[in-house]
Amino acid sequence: MTKKTLEIYSVELSGTKDIQQTDNGNGKEKYRGLKNCFEPRKNHHKEELRKEVDLDDHKLSIKELEKKYGTNIITGLSSTQAAELLARNGPNALTPPKETPEIIKFLKQMVGGFSILLWIGAILCWIAYGIQYSMNTSSSLDNVYLGCVLALVVILTGIFAYYQEAKSTNIMATFNKMIPQQALVIRDSEKTTIPAEELVVGDIVEIRGGDRIPADVRLLSVQGCKVDNSSLTGESEPQPRSSEFTHDSPLETKNIGFYSTTCLEGTATGMVINTGDRTIIGQIASLASGVGNEKTPIAIEIQHFVHIVAGVAVSIGILFFIIAVSLKYQVLDSIIFLIGIIVANVPEGLLATVTVTLSLTAKRMAKKNCLVKNLEAVETLGSTSIICSDKTGTLTQNRMTVAHLWFDNQIFIADTSEDHSNQVFDKSSGTWASLSKIITLCNRAEFSPGQESVPIMKRVVVGDASETALLKFSEVILGDVMEIRKRNHKVAEIPFNSTNKFQLSIHKTDDPNDQRFLLVMKGAPERILEKCSTIMVNGQKQPLDKNTAEAFHTAYMELGGLGERVLGFCHLYLPADEFPETYTFDVDTMNFPTSNLCFVGLLSMIDPPRSTVPDAVTKCRSAGIKVIMVTGDHPITAKAIAKSVGIISANSETVEDIAKRLHIAVEQVNKRDAKAAVVTGMELKDMSPEQLDELLTNYSEIVFARTSPQQKLIIVEGCQRQNAVVAVTGDGVNDSPALKKADIGIAMGIAGSDAAKNAADMILLDDNFASIVTGVEEGRLIFDNLKKTIAYTLTKNIAELCPFLIYIIVGLPLPIGTITILFIDLGTDIIPSIALAYEKAESDIMNRKPRHKKKDRLVNQQLAIYSYLHIGLMQAVGAFVAYFTVYAQEGFKPSIHINIRVEWEDSNVNDLEDSYGQQWTWYQRKYLEWMGYTAFFVGIMVQQIADLIIRKTRRNSIFQQGLFRNKVIWVGIASQIIIALTLSYGLGSVTALSFTMLRPQYWFVAVPFAILIWVYDEVRKLFIRLYPGSWWDKNMYY
Amino acid sequence: MRRQLRSRRAPASPYGYRSRLDDQDEVNQNYLADEEEEAEEEARVTVVPDLEEEEEEEVEEEEEEEEEEEEEAKAEEKGQGQPAGNAWWQRWQIVNEYLWDPEKRMSLARTGQSWSLILVIYFFFYASLAAVVTLCMYTLFLTISPYMPTFTERVKPPGVMIRPFAHSLNFNFNVSEPDTWQHYVISLNGFLQGYNDSLQEEMNVDCPPGQYFIQDGDEEEDKKACQFKRSFLKNCSGLEDPTFGYSTGQPCILLKMNRIVGFRPELGDPVKVSCKVQRGDENDIRSINYYPESASFDLRYYPYYGKLTHVNYTSPLVAMHFTDVVKNQAVPVQCQLKGKGIINDVINDRFVGRVIFTLNIET
């Protein structure tokens, strides 16, 4: 055997590696697995990943095959042989993609985000204690406790995030469970059923219609077998199989059946030639794992945000460490300040909140049929700017449906909606009566039994797509088709074949007075017309003259131009004298006339778009999302569907359309005039990446037709080069690299293969494009709401940070303790920030452009400045007023606070004088300090309520949005108050928490500031609404 | 023409019944043949104006990209190990330009006008915020009396403190080395300056003992204070022994009760001081002389009316003279207040109603 490599298709991945598989041709086939090597290509601009399969079993004769695999097609393998092979080659199953070990996932949560910063805080605490201990062995354990609390916070939030992630993957796990597959195999000359996993190379298997092919098989004998290779090649048409070698390429040849494809009809016997990961599908599935997972936009945003906050925390911390040291503070004290600043700056609860928010949205989306595998993908969908959608099943209903009828020289439109409810065409004509009879009788499709209660459109039918369509169509209009067929007994039949291109059957009629036989025929319209000499118009036979033929052609062209599959129908009543009741029809000799028939009408079928899709596409359009159709179908069909769903809008034209309209050659058309483009896979193949980029930028409406699933990857990469966030739908195994490469891969829940579902970030449970759009809406909403949540959370950081800074510089008693800060971050603020996730959109979020990946950040300058320097400062001021009020009423007026710190904190000073000359012991002061903490805490809490309310909207007034529409907000506010009350009055006596009882009046000190915050924000929003685009809008809108 | 085009399409029209099966390929080829034809014809016509336009656009795009890159650079100035030298210089230039762009006269991506606007707005914002705070603090002070604290529960019951106090409650000194105890003497002397008999007689009144010295009348009236003369402390007054006994290993320690506005010990027996060894042998102290001999705080020194009006108030003292403490060993001493209404056993606060210190006198 000469060295021969067969190219089946090429897959472009990152463009750096080639995967090649070669046959070294030693007679015994040997797999080398997938090899990576560089191979520069001359005819292509860049190196591409190339996959070549050395399968040549399709070329071998049965004898050679038997020899090669040591088997016998009659007796099969012996069970010992089989066991041996099974042990050697492993089970016939795809190895699942490598999972990250749980412990790694857990550890990742422990060090991700702010955790590092908090770990540093905790370690600094312990170092501080170490220093203290070395100086004085009886030093207090406060710092150890604080360190432990910080560590605990990290671990708890880590566990929480891990749990959330595990929960969402669990949904997937249940989803992924496959039903064990069985295979009928000949072993030891006996037919046995074994689990498909136990198949080995050389096994002889039998496949029947409806089975999933259990491994790659070389077909040995075939009876009318058709397979659905769509999961492999993307072709939606059933592919006939035979035992002959028809093509060099193993993918094209008809004598090979592929693992995981489905046998639609017929039976076949085959020899297993590849199992498990060595099957074609297995190789592709392993390719998908080679495509790196792109980081989700929200992950980038959160990282960006973490960097900002961590940057602020570290730089302020270090700055004040230096200031503290230069103010002659001890290094130990400075370290403790540093810890305080870090803790104040880090929103400990935020990442957990974000996770909860995302999973809430994920749940909401699951209800709307978008199952999100990866939580972060929730938002990715919202920032999507290009959707590359499949046609079949996603945009369309994935079933042939009668769309148009032509009879009586008129085209009628049939209802193609999901339930066919209102068929409005004229049913009174005599032609229709004849036509309906032909449709009913000249049809071999049948409903599977036992489906009487199922709506007609949902019943399972045995038969091919067109016949199914006709059957359902007639069942809807005429009622019980099977009964009609029974009444018109079939006496002879010629099934459809590709040479005749027609189907014929002869029936007794149900009219007892009419003894004539009825011959009905359907088929390719031009063939049918050839056989006709008359045509039926308004129920009357008329000679078929030139005019009527012309009318027929016009109709035929028109319907064909709509991308529809057209069938012609004719009939003939056989004269009773020539064909008496006893006449025996012989289909082989054709002892009956098949010419000079009477033409009745045309019927055209299409896989119609889902009724919700046009709206969804319009929504996408107004949302600035480009919808690109990528299909394996014929360009004309693709274009027709694209037009009917609005992917190509009604008034835009392709270059070809313009040429046609202006009666000029395609080349003379100014390409700029065309908005739409229909590109075929062949054209795409010859395009350089630059040309593709140009295509993608210049045309707003693009349809890719006749593309292979591999080309999807090229399209996705092209889109990503435009800086777009790309969502890609896919169902086949071959789609999985594209699904992985895309920013968000969407797999089909019904039609999708497991490999596609594995590679995807999201699964569309109803396969409906419209669900993607609702997903986009949710994704955009979550981005807005996350912005609000973050703004809400960041605001109080200033109020927590200022006390430390002022404490260091002015030397007043510490206004708020580190533990207290943690109680705000992880206590009172958690539920309110989650509540913001339930906020409704402010305006129609589907009317604005998708966010720009680099410009519209989650946390932008405006948000940070407004939160930190406006509202945050107001909060700090309000909380300080509460703090000063408590101290002043107890005897320490603000003026005495300056530089009191050293004496205040000296536990040996037990007669510190206040403003009234009273003397305080250390513990009395400490208690007062805790009262200060509590007052400060309550001050922040009260103002956070106002902050929560103002964060409900970013532009609209709260009163426009409705104060009470989001009930969860009020739950959040109630939780804040209850937690604060519990901490103060319930746990006030636990000294370790440093909370105290607070006089009731102190709860209201910060209320004026809360009102001020609200009013200020309303004014801000008012100016934003009044002067859009102004300086104010640019600087104050976040 | 229209018809022609249609008929040209006609063979390509695939949706006859025949296309259902294997004719798909043929149809496809037809279609592709069409496309190829078109492509060929297209190639002959070169469209010059288009190209120019495209070029222009590309230039624009490039500019945008550059801007974006700049932004990125600004956002993350950290740099990621790119080829050093030139790249760093470029980065530095970009940062520099960001800080001050001479062409557009912009600093930090804002023009001077924009900066001044920002400064003005922030000035007004913070000024009004400050005004609000001032207003709040003003109202706060309106509600607070300058003579009497609003609440005094937190500072009651009174704490106890001793003198001399040198940032530690451990008295370690060597009798034969004056350097080790000199600072106690200085501290005591300083503390007792306000108690000098002459000063007390001049400023304060001699009020009757055994009863509160209540001065009714307006809050803002200055209040008189009762005399507490240094000489009351006898041997611990420093008058006879200017070293307060430290030179002989018999240290004097003064004890005072923390001042609390309006605090009145309960009527009857005055609050007494009693000291004993906190832990260890009771006999380590052996004898203590208290001055005044009653070892109590007379009622006439209460109530206290606050710093503002009770200007010359001097806290009453009790001096403890440890005349025969065990030497060369640390002796923990606890002095407690005893009397009606006095609390001296708060667990958390070891200075309410009591004080603990150690004496470690070396000879």
- Residue A42 pLDDT more than 80? no
Of A680, A885, A891, the CB nearest to B155: A891
Would you say the pTM of this structure is higher than 0.90?
no
- The mean pLDDT of A499-516, rounded to a whole number, is 83
Contact A984, A942 (CB under 8 A): no
Contact A711, A681 (CB under 8 A): yes
Whether residue A683 lies within 8 A of chain B, CB to CB, comes out as yes
Q: Residue A108: pLDDT band by 50, 70, 90 thresholds?
A: confident
List chain B residues with CB under 8 Å of A916.
147-149, 261, 306-308
Contact A813, A900 (CB under 8 A): yes
Mean pLDDT, chain B, as a whole number?
Answer: 76
Q: At what angle do helices A922-950 and A769-810 cross, to 10 degrees?
A: 150
- Annotated catalytic residue A390: yes
Whether residue B144 lies within 8 A of chain A, CB to CB, comes out as yes
Predicted local confidence at residue A190, as pLDDT:
83
Q: In this predicted model, what pLDDT tens digit does every residue of B4-28 receive, in sequence order?
A: 443 333 333 334 333 333 333 433 4
Q: Which residue has the higher pLDDT, B146 or A671?
A: B146
Of B23, B136, B351, the CB nearest to A881: B136
Q: Say how many C-beta atoms besides its own lie within 10 A of residue A495's C-beta.
A: 11
pLDDT per residue of chain B (363 residues) written in tens, 0 to 9? 444 443 333 333 334 333 333 333 433 444 433 444 444 444 443 333 443 333 343 334 444 444 444 444 444 444 444 455 677 888 888 888 777 777 777 777 677 788 888 899 899 999 999 999 999 999 999 988 888 888 888 888 889 999 888 778 888 999 988 899 999 999 999 999 989 999 999 888 888 888 888 888 888 888 889 999 998 888 888 888 888 989 888 999 999 999 999 888 888 788 899 998 988 888 888 889 998 888 889 888 988 998 889 888 999 999 999 988 888 888 999 999 988 888 888 888 888 989 999 999 988
> E strands of A510-586, at which residues?
517-523, 532-537, 540-543, 565-574
Alpha carbon distance A324, B353 (integer Å): 37
Of A560, A660, A911, the CB nearest to B159: A911
For a pLDDT cut of 70, what percent of chain A falls above it? 89
**Which CA distances in Å does B12 have to A184, A557, A685?**
43, 10, 21
Q: Choose from A208-217, A297-306, B145-154 the range with maximum mean pLDDT.
A: B145-154
Q: In this predicted model, what pLDDT tens digit does every residue of A693-708 receive, in sequence order?
A: 988 988 889 999 888 7
Alpha carbon distance B183, B189 (integer Å): 10
Predicted local confidence at residue A172, as pLDDT:
52
Q: Choose from A138-142, A284-288, A369-373, A526-530 the range with maximum mean pLDDT.
A: A526-530
Q: Which residue has the higher pLDDT, B269 or A25?
A: B269
List chain B residues with CB under 8 Å of A1009.
132
- Residue A175 pLDDT more than 80? no
Whether residue A301 lies within 8 A of chain B, CB to CB, comes out as no
User: Chain B window 32-71: which residues touch A at a Cβ cutoff of 8 Å?
Assistant: 32, 35, 38-39, 41-42, 44-45, 47, 50, 54, 68, 71
Q: Say how many C-beta atoms besides its own lie within 10 A of residue A982's C-beta.
A: 13
Alpha carbon distance A948, B74 (integer Å): 32
Whether residue B148 lies within 8 A of chain A, CB to CB, comes out as yes
Predicted local confidence at residue A760, as pLDDT:
83
Predicted local confidence at residue A286, as pLDDT:
67
Predicted local confidence at residue B3, as pLDDT:
40
Instruction: Please state the φ and ψ torsions of residue B344, each to the nearest 5 degrees.
Output: -135, 25
Tokens of A705: 């037709």
Predicted local confidence at residue B320, as pLDDT:
92
Contact A408, A402 (CB under 8 A): no
Predicted local confidence at residue A4, as pLDDT:
37
List chain B residues with CB under 8 Å of A873.
126, 129
Alpha helices by DSSP H, A811-870? 818-823, 830-835, 861-865
Q: Quote the ipTM score.
A: 0.76
**Cα atoms in the Cβ-side hemisphere of radius 13 Å centred on A474:** 28
Predicted local confidence at residue A236, as pLDDT:
58
Decide: helix, strand or coil at residue A73. coil
Question: Active-site residue among A142, A203, A390, A731?
Answer: A390
- The mean pLDDT of A644-670, rounded to a whole number, is 84
Mean pLDDT, chain A, as a whole number?
Answer: 82
Alpha carbon distance A136, A129 (integer Å): 10
Query: Per the omega criterion (within 30 degrees of 0), is the bond before B303 cis?
Result: yes
CA–CA min distance A663, chain B (Å) = 7
> E strands of A706-761, at which residues?
726-730, 744-748
Of A304, A668, A682, the CB nearest to B32: A682
Whether residue B6 lies within 8 A of chain A, CB to CB, comes out as yes
List chain B residues with CB under 8 Å of A894.
137
Whether residue B4 lies within 8 A of chain A, CB to CB, comes out as no
Q: Which residue of A has its CA nearest to B10?
A: A557
Cross-strand bridge partners of residue A702: A628, A677
Q: In this predicted model, what pLDDT tens digit does every residue of A532-582 receive, in sequence order?
A: 989 988 888 888 888 888 888 899 888 888 888 899 999 998 888 888 888
Q: In this predicted model, what pLDDT tens digit does every residue of B280-322 receive, in sequence order?
A: 888 888 889 998 888 889 888 988 998 889 888 999 999 999 9
Q: Residue A425: pLDDT band by 50, 70, 90 thresholds?
A: confident
- Residue A969 pLDDT more than 90? yes
List chain B residues with CB under 8 Å of A523.
17
- Residue A676 pLDDT more than 50? yes
Q: Which residue of B has its CA nearest to A912?
A: B258
List chain A residues with CB under 8 Å of B352.
921, 923-924
Of A670, A881, A906, the CB nearest to B133: A881
Q: Which residues contact B20 (CB under 8 A, 6 or more apart)?
A: A464, A466, A496, A565
Q: Which residue of B has its CA nearest to A635?
A: B31
